[in-house]
Amino acid sequence: MKKLLRLLFTLVAMVMLCGVAPVGQKWEVDKTKSKIGFTASYNGEPIEGSFAQFYPNIIFYPEYLNASMIAVRIPIASIQTNYEERDATVQMEPWFNSPSYPEAVFTSQKITKTGEQSYRADGILTIKGVAKPFGFDFHFTEWMVNESTKSIKAVMQADFTINRSDFKVGEGQWADDKMIGNAIKVHLNITAQRAN
């Protein structure tokens, strides 16, 4: 019995010294202040766009990155480029084919620290039914702690590139990037809050 008590005491002491990752608490994203935007190109001219809808699932603790994760679902039908005919066209084949593949999905598998308020999320990106390993760097431009409630408000930004050909977006005669560029630049600006 004494040996069992000593073992339990040792385990408790180790937990107290090492710390325990908190129960995953999601960040609430303020979608009125957040945006997933992108820039494509047509004949060398930029085409700006964004997604009117996106559904993030964020659990993030800088001190417990092993317990952190980032996931997001983006309905393809919510794409908007300020040109209705183009927005409707990209829903069909040979583009996104959103009736068959209605969402783009990213789920992180690992988050690592890369610098002061800077991190990298590596995981799986699925577009048009094609799932591939994908990662991007992100950083916090704001990280404010409410001392009375201990809640945290943060602004996260990221810029990265997705090659549409990797996900079979624009096949056949449109696979060539001479008219429509292969590289799609993505910009994330996310404002969120986490209660303590």
Query: Does residue 196 surpass a pLDDT of 80?
Result: no
Please give the pLDDT value at position 118.
98
What length is written for the chain?
196
**Cβ atoms of 184 and 39 closer than 8 Å:** yes
Q: Please check the confidence at residue 117 and state whether its pLDDT lies above 60.
A: yes
**pLDDT confidence band for 75 (50 / 70 / 90):** very high
State yes or no: pLDDT of 3 exceeds 90. no
Q: What is the pLDDT of residues 144-189, one digit of tens each?
A: 999 999 899 999 999 999 999 999 999 999 999 999 999 999 999 9
85-95: average pLDDT: 98
Residues of the chain with pLDDT > 90: what percent? Answer: 85
Residue 23 has pLDDT above 50, yes or no: yes
Residues 6+ apart with CB under 8 A from 30: 191, 192, 193
- The residues facing 158 across adjacent strands are 188
How far from chain centre, in Å, is Cα 8? Answer: 40
pTM of the model: 0.87
| Comparison of pLDDT for 164 and 26, the residue scoring more | 164
Q: What residues have CB less than 8 Å from 142, skipping those under 6 apart?
A: 153, 154, 155
Average pLDDT, the chain: 91
Overall CATH class of domain 25-194: mainly beta
Residue 92 DSSP code: S
